């Protein structure tokens, strides 16, 4: 008996079951093929557009399992896909016929409240991290959806409500353990393999499998001043212009995002507004509550909100506030731009698109980024786009596969109509799987160095199921 697996060169290879059994016998975790326990759970990820079937799944429960899977893939020339949270929009956690390394059962978080650090396993979600750190009133800057995996978020850069005050997730990474393509397990830090440490801070999963992250934590308490200001979408032009002015002089403690969509059935929103077009300010102030009240005054004074829901909230609750709109099982497609400013032309294009939403779940969000993040040099980490800016994500979401063409076309059309105002850069974690031609935009001037690091640690490009950075030698050969 044999199992057919996808190889790195695009062919198929039949692996005898005895060979697989010999490798899996030493695992702490489990292995599964089609029809066996754990297989469907491992291959099913957040984005329902991704319906791929790996040839073999290894569900790791420890570092030795990870190294064994990497060695098996390399020795047999197999395509390997790595899953942590399974939340990446392109669905790179799984590939047809591949060896899938599933890290989702490795979720421990160990907090040192005295040293203010946390050691986190790669299968942990942001919710896992927040729950553990908030026991001590501490936090690491991460994203905005609690079901996102910490590994993918960190490797791509990581930004959210705490970024303007405390920097990006990668700016708070102190060290990591990485299983590389040759089977080594390396501790990386500013003093140990600094080139690899630099590369994993924004370079994605191109350089190995991170088996453990060590983060710096910040004392924020257990509550933040946060919430939503919900306005009629008809007022959006003046509101977004007002946001533009407020963000230009906002303190680092304040972060403001705008979301344009059909109003979901929120319990605090009058029922007559459910399903109608709205423009939502989502705001978070990290710091003294009285100072936060003063810092949010101008934002709250804009227009005439239907609802002002800004108040002290538990940080863990605020981190999960958007989870109901981002549940797994829906079809998702994103297109994203960065802007140095929020120009009137961009505002007009977004509002025109809102008149033709292909599904009520579709939305556009515009995130304000800057502060501490912008005071890091562009070449200090692999994440290069450090200037204060806005990131727009056209988040197309729907349930019915018959809407695929309409939803993709809508997202791509708005992306095209706002391209002339954009910087050309893009956040790698917002890139769908058909955005491969934007690798240069994702890494900017850091791409050449990333290719050199790739050539050092993964010269055979074993880790290629991602937004791939090719080894320097392969790039030169292709030219």
**Percent of the chain beyond pLDDT 70?**
99
Question: Which residues neighbour 55 within 8 Å (Cβ) at sequence distance 6 or greater?
Answer: 3, 4, 5, 6, 33, 97, 98, 99
Question: 306 and 431 share a domain?
Answer: yes
Structure tokens at 323: 């989870």
Structural domain of 90:
2-102
Instruction: Band the pLDDT of 143: cuts 50, 70, 90.
Output: very high
Residue 266 pLDDT greater than 90, yes or no: no
Return d(Cα 298, Cα 302) in angstroms, integer: 7
pLDDT at 1: 78
Residue 479 pLDDT greater than 70, yes or no: no
Start-end of H helices in 355-435: 404-417
> If residue 246 lies in a helix (H) or strand (E), which one and from where to where?
helix 236-248
Angle separating helix axes 344-354 and 404-417, nearest 10 degrees: 160
Q: What is the pLDDT of residues 379-403, one digit of tens each?
A: 999 999 999 999 999 999 999 999 9
Question: Which residues neighbour 457 within 8 Å (Cβ) at sequence distance 6 or greater?
Answer: 180, 181, 196, 199, 207, 208
Whether residue 332 is contained in a domain is answered as: yes
pLDDT at 341: 96
> What are the C-alpha distances in Å from 431 to residues 49, 92, 152, 441, 453?
14, 11, 13, 11, 22
Strand bridging mode 30-32 / 254-262: unpaired
Question: 148 and 63 share a domain?
Answer: no
Q: Which of 13-27, 295-309, 345-359 has the lowest mean pLDDT?
A: 13-27
- C-alpha closest to that of 393 among 343, 339, 352, 334: 334
Residue 168 pLDDT greater than 80, yes or no: yes
Question: 386 and 249 share a domain?
Answer: yes
pLDDT at 378: 97
CATH of the domain at 201: 3.30.465.10
pLDDT at 268: 85
Question: 160 and 54 share a domain?
Answer: no
CATH of the domain at 84: 3.30.43.10
Whether residue 465 is contained in a domain is answered as: no
Query: How many domains does the chain contain in total?
Result: 3
Q: Which of 74-78, 264-268, 337-341, 405-409 has the lowest mean pLDDT?
A: 264-268
Whether residue 458 is contained in a domain is answered as: no
Q: What is the pLDDT of residues 430-449, one digit of tens each?
A: 999 999 999 999 999 999 99
**Percent of the chain beyond pLDDT 90?**
96
Last residue of a domain, one of 102, 127, 161: 102
Residue 179 pLDDT greater than 90, yes or no: yes
**Over residues 200-216, mean pLDDT:** 98
Q: What is the pLDDT of residues 33-62, one digit of tens each?
A: 999 999 999 999 999 999 999 999 999 999
pLDDT at 267: 85
Question: 114 and 81 share a domain?
Answer: no
Return d(Cα 163, Cα 76) in angstroms, integer: 42
Return d(Cα 112, Cα 85) in angstroms, integer: 24
Whether residue 325 is contained in a domain is answered as: yes
Whether residue 319 is contained in a domain is answered as: yes
Question: 41 and 16 share a domain?
Answer: yes
Q: Please say whether the beta carbons of 426 and 441 come within 8 A.
A: yes
Last residue of a domain, one of 59, 82, 102: 102
CATH of the domain at 352: 3.40.462.20
Residue 474 pLDDT greater than 80, yes or no: no
Q: Which of 9-18, 444-453, 467-476 has the lowest mean pLDDT?
A: 467-476
Question: 263 and 412 share a domain?
Answer: yes
Last residue of a domain, one of 168, 189, 219: 219
Question: Which residues neighbour 222 within 8 Å (Cβ) at sequence distance 6 or greater?
Answer: 134, 137, 314, 315, 316
Question: 42 and 186 share a domain?
Answer: no
Question: 177 and 86 share a domain?
Answer: no
**Over residues 411-417, mean pLDDT:** 98
Question: 363 and 271 share a domain?
Answer: yes
Question: 53 and 87 share a domain?
Answer: yes
pLDDT at 478: 65
Question: 312 and 425 share a domain?
Answer: yes
Q: Which of 247-251, 262-266, 404-408, 474-478 has the lowest mean pLDDT?
A: 474-478
Whether residue 201 is contained in a domain is answered as: yes
Whether residue 429 is contained in a domain is answered as: yes
Taking the chain, what is the end-to-end CA distance rounded to the nearest angstrom? 43
Whether residue 459 is contained in a domain is answered as: no
Start-end of H helices in 8-117: 17-24, 39-43, 63-75
Return d(Cα 6, Cα 19) in angstroms, integer: 16
> What are the C-alpha distances in Å from 260 to residues 26, 230, 282, 304, 416?
51, 10, 11, 16, 18
Instruction: Band the pLDDT of 477: cuts 50, 70, 90.
Output: low
**Over residues 234-254, mean pLDDT:** 97
Q: Please say whether the beta carbons of 281 and 266 come within 8 A.
A: no
Residue 473 pLDDT greater than 80, yes or no: no
């Amino acid at each position: 008996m044999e199992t057919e697996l996808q190889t790195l060169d695009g062919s198929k290879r039949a692996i005898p079951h005895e060979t697989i059994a010999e490798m899996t016998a030493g695992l702490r975790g489990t292995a599964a093929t089609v029809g066996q326990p754990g297989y469907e759970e491992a291959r099913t990820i957040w984005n329902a557009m991704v319906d791929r079937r790996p040839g073999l799944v290894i569900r790791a429960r420890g570092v030795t399992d990870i190294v064994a899977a990497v060695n098996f893939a390399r020795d047999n020339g197999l395509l390997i896909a790595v899953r942590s949270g399974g939340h990446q929009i392109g669905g790179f956690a799984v590939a047809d016929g591949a060896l899938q390394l599933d890290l989702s059962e490795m979720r421990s978080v160990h907090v040192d409240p005295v040293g203010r650090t946390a050691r986190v396993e790669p299968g942990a979600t942001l919710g896992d991290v927040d729950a553990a750190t908030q026991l001590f009133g501490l936090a690491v800057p991460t994203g905005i959806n609690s079901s996102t995996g910490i590994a993918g978020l960190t490797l791509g850069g990581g930004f959210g409500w705490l970024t303007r005050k405390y920097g990006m997730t990668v700016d708070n990474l102190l060290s990591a353990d990485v299983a590389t393509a040759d089977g080594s397990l390396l501790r990386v830090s500013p003093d140990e393999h600094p080139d690899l440490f630099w590369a994993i801070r924004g370079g994605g999963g191109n350089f190995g499998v991170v088996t453990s992250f060590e983060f710096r934590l910040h004392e924020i308490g257990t509550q933040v001043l946060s919430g939503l200001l919900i306005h009629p979408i008809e007022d959006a032009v003046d509101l977004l212009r007002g946001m533009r002015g407020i963000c230009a002089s906002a303190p680092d403690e304040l972060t403001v995002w705008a979301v344009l969509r059909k109003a979901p059935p929120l319990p605090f929103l009058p029922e007559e507004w459910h399903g109608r077009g709205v423009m939502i300010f989502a705001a978070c102030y990290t710091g003294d509550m009285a100072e936060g009240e003063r810092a949010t005054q101008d934002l709250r004074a804009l227009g005439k909100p239907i609802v002002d829901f800004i108040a002290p909230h538990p940080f863990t609750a605020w981190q999960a506030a958007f989870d109901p709109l981002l549940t797994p099982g829906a079809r998702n497609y994103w297109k994203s731009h960065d802007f140095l400013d929020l120009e009137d032309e961009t505002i007009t294009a977004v509002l025109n698109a809102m008149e033709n939403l292909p599904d009520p779940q579709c939305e556009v969000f515009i995130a304000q980024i800057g502060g501490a993040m912008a005071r890091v040099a562009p070449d200090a980490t692999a994440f290069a786009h450090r200037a204060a800016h806005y990131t727009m994500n056209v988040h197309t979401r729907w349930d019915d596969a018959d809407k695929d063409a309409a939803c993709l076309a809508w997202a791509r059309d708005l992306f095209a109509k706002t391209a002339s105002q954009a910087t050309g850069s893009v956040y790698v974690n917002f890139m769908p799987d058909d955005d491969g031609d934007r690798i240069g935009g994702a890494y900017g001037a850091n791409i050449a160095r990333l290719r050199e690091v790739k050539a050092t640690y993964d010269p055979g490009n074993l880790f290629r199921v991602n937004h791939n950075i090719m080894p320097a030698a392969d790039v030169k050969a292709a030219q």
